[in-house]
Amino acid sequence: MGRSVARRLAVLAVSAAVVSVGAAPPSSGTGGNGSGPAEKVPVAVGYGGAVASVDADASAAGVEILRKGGNAVDAAVATAAALGVTEPYSSGIGGGGYFVYYDAKSRTVHTIDGRETAPLSADSGLFLENGQPIPFADAVTSGLGVGTPGTPATWQTALDSWGSERLGPLLKPAERLARDGFTVDDTFRSQTASNEARFRNFPDTADLFLPGGALPVVGSTFRNPDLARTYRELGRKGASALYRGELAEDIVDTVNEPPVDPASEYNARPGDLTLKDLAKYRAKRQAPTKTSYRGLGVYSIAPSSSGGTTVGEALNILENTDLSKASDVQYLHRYIEASRIAFADRGRWVGDPAFEDVPTKELLSQRFADSRECLIKDDAVLTSPLAPGDPRDPAACATGGKAAPTTYEGENTTHLTAADKWGNVVAYTLTIEQTGGSGITVPGRGFLLNNELTDFSFAPASPAVHDPNLPGPGKRPRSSISPTIVLDRHAQPVVALGSPGGATIVTTVLQTLTGFLDRGLPLVDAIAAPRASQRNQTTTELEPGLWNDPLRTQLEGIGHGFRQNPEIGAATGVQRLPNGKWLAAAETVRRGGGSAMVVRPAP
């Protein structure tokens, strides 16, 4: 938001965080070593490196690695593994994600596409029966929606490329956390409750997440000994153990014959995953997207995710507006319209570049952005669904063509951000798709499988419109994940951030960046500010902080329509400060608040 509304709505939550900036985090922060549960603090400042995530135990695992001399990549892997324990409905080795890394020595940004892939047997009719799309809910809780996991391969690729430690030692904090347990909070219980009905369809899932047949009690200790053993196996054998051997066989068996409770009478459609699908999987190192904004370099993930191109295009559209001087209404209006346009173009042009001709460079050109920016009027609102432009042949203010739909993406993902004493930075978003993924636990292994293939379009919206996001053999479904690193003119980090939230990830990252870079908000304030999300739909989603604000009425006067969303995203970030100091920031309220930690807090 602008300075006035953001400070008005965030000041109470942030003030408590600022008081705690100097507090040192626990030595490891996990209940697993007897130190008790780690404390959640949403902002921390200090030296030696920093970690921010949604969970205190996970942030503490990353800080533990930094204290032992590990770098940001090592810390990111350790944090991600711990999130697989404490945030099992959002992430885990049964899923995938996207990893963005800044190398301080070369001052360059690198990325890994660790997105899940469709089976080699998949085609555009993957989700069709008798020529019609199957119900979305049926695809979500099935083997049919499970893609080949990419998370372990992402960890191994990152460590082989830029890490300083082997996988085994980095999994130890998470293994300990899974074995000895963590303290159940309100978020974990409520997410379990929202999945209870479908979890009961699968005995292995119910045994793990509904201990004794009941919801876990807030304040109780939750243990996952099966996952501890799985982490120990991966630590000994490396990430390849998930793609070959007994663990791979267990995954294939589970996908192709989902272990349903016969008494439930639930029809869990089988998948068609093979050992060959797992053996052929590779996490892909690739160049980042890059756009220039206010003289800064903004780097993110390229397709198969749409995050980098969509955030980048929206920033290019906003480049010609001085958002620092705009009123709150003008700022929100421009931000909403830039998001609407960028999503219109994403829907037409972005898919897996191994299968689709994705004009990434053209989507990120200022020439194309200028041809789209001229659609925005100060006293009127664009109508959605808005037709896409053609980045290969930009025409000023063009409105022809057919609109492409915004596919549904599950909102429960997780993001972590890490930095080390050498100046390396990681922004890493990982997921198993929607809350609880497929709902199917691999028996005896302690982790849920993803349902990422439901991010594909089930069928073309119109025969007249090419859809780049239809399923295909070995294809990666389009994502909205947007881990982002911003560099200054000297190629030094300014800020790194990201968020979960399905398609709202793009708008959360865009709004947080503009709040921080343009509106002058401290990072934790920019993260805490109430959000709006427009994704080329007839109405824009608003969190309660904006829904209940007079700004809504003023925006409606221009022509905006709104619907309420109780919570959008859960961002984390790190900011480089002078003289080797880092600021880590996380949510103050969303998902129960996030956890920011540094190695040595500043006095």
Q: What is the pLDDT of residue 574?
A: 98
Q: What is the pLDDT of residue 402?
A: 75
For residue 7, pLDDT over 90 is answered with: no
The two beta strands, 540-542 and 221-222, are unpaired
Residue 581 token pair: 């100091």
Confidence of residue 462 (pLDDT cuts 50, 70, 90): confident
582 forms bridges with which residues in the sheet? 46, 576
Question: Which residues line the annotated binding site for L-glutamate?
Answer: 115, 455, 479-480, 502
Q: Which residue has the tokens 């996207």?
A: 98
- Does 541 map to a domain? yes
Average pLDDT over residues 299-304: 98
Tens digit of each residue's pLDDT (9 = 90 or more) over 475-488: 999 999 999 999 99
Question: Which residues line the annotated binding site?
Answer: 115, 455, 479-480, 502
Average pLDDT over residues 10-28: 34
Domain that holds residue 559: 3-22+41-285+408-601
- Does 386 map to a domain? no
Q: What is the pLDDT of residue 408?
A: 63
Average pLDDT over residues 557-573: 97
Q: What is the pLDDT of residue 463?
A: 76
Question: Could you give the 3-state DSSP secondary structure of residue 436?
Answer: coil
Give the C-alpha separation, 347 to 50, whole Å: 36
Tens digit of each residue's pLDDT (9 = 90 or more) over 389-413: 999 999 998 776 777 766 666 567 9
For residue 354, pLDDT over 70 is answered with: yes
- Does 319 map to a domain? no
Q: What is the pLDDT of residue 251?
A: 98
For residue 533, pLDDT over 60 is answered with: yes
Q: What is the pLDDT of residue 409?
A: 64
Measured at the CA of 192, the angle between CA 187 and CA 194, to 5 degrees, comes to: 95
What residue type is assigned to position 112 of the chain?
I
Q: What is the pLDDT of residue 37?
A: 58
For residue 53, pLDDT over 60 is answered with: yes
Q: What is the pLDDT of residue 476?
A: 98
The residues carrying an active-site annotation are 413
**Average pLDDT of the chain to the nearest whole number:** 92
Q: What is the pLDDT of residue 12?
A: 30
Q: Identify the CATH number of the domain in which residue 50 sits.
A: 3.60.20.40
Peptide bond into 211 cis (omega under 30): no
b (16+ CB within 10 A) / e for 406-419: bbebbbbbbbbbbb
Residue 601 token pair: 């807090």
- Does 494 map to a domain? yes
Average pLDDT over residues 325-351: 97
- Does 34 map to a domain? no
Confidence of residue 603 (pLDDT cuts 50, 70, 90): confident
For residue 93, pLDDT over 90 is answered with: yes
Q: DSSP of 202-263, one letter per residue?
A: SHHHHHHHSGGGSPPPTTSEE--HHHHHHHHHHHHH-GGGGTSSHHHHHHHHHHHS----GG
Give the C-alpha separation, 204 to 2, whole Å: 48
- Does 396 map to a domain? no
Give the C-alpha separation, 565 to 543, whole Å: 5
Q: What is the pLDDT of residue 407?
A: 66
For residue 88, pLDDT over 50 is answered with: yes
Q: What is the pLDDT of residue 398?
A: 79
For residue 590, pLDDT over 70 is answered with: yes
Of 38-42, 126-130, 192-196, the range with the lowest mean pLDDT is 38-42
Identify which of 350, 228, 235, 357 has the alpha carbon closest to the alpha carbon of residue 300: 350
Residue 523 token pair: 């990072």
Average pLDDT over residues 126-155: 96
Tens digit of each residue's pLDDT (9 = 90 or more) over 180-234: 999 999 999 999 999 999 999 999 999 999 999 999 999 999 999 999 999 999 9
Confidence of residue 3 (pLDDT cuts 50, 70, 90): very low
Tens digit of each residue's pLDDT (9 = 90 or more) over 101-119: 999 999 999 999 999 999 9
Q: What is the pLDDT of residue 343?
A: 97
Residue 409 token pair: 């993406």
Quick check: pTM over 0.75?
Answer: yes
**Element of type H or E holding 59:** helix 56-67
**Element of type H or E holding 368:** helix 366-373
Give the C-alpha separation, 91 to 146, whole Å: 14
Confidence of residue 39 (pLDDT cuts 50, 70, 90): confident
For residue 263, pLDDT over 50 is answered with: yes
Neighbours of 98 (CB within 10 A): 30
* Total number of domains constituting the chain: 1
